[in-house]
């Protein structure tokens, strides 16, 4: 189940970085499946990219808040 941006805003920076790493690994896996023609749920590609952007935004907001 995907998280909402509100959930990301409440996480600590270390947790966000871990989440970002996991999402990027997942995106790479989805790309491999897509190139091999094995991806049956094409919406996962867009959904994963959106989550990565949300996590990166939350990290940037934390950095600006603490600066």
Output the pTM of the full model: 0.89
Residue among 43, 53, 46 nearest 20 (CA): 53
CB atoms under 10 Å from CB of 31, counted, come to 13
Q: Does domain 5-66 have CATH number 1.10.287?
A: yes
* Segment 8-67, tens digit of pLDDT: 888 999 999 999 999 999 999 999 999 999 989 989 999 999 999 999 999 999 999 987
Domain boundaries, the chain: 5-66
User: CA-to-CA distance for 17 and 64, rounded, in angstroms?
Assistant: 16
pLDDT digits (tens, 9 = 90+) for 44-55: 999 999 999 999
Residues 6+ apart with CB under 8 A from 62: 13, 16
Structure tokens at 16: 């966000």
């Amino acid at each position: 189940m995907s998280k909402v941006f509100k959930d990301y805003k409440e996480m600590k920076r270390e947790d966000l970085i871990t989440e970002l790493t996991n999402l990027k690994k997942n995106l790479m896996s989805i790309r491999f499946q897509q190139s091999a023609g094995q991806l049956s749920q094409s919406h996962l590609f867009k959904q994963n990219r959106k989550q990565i952007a949300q996590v990166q935004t939350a990290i940037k907001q934390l950095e600006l808040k603490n600066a």
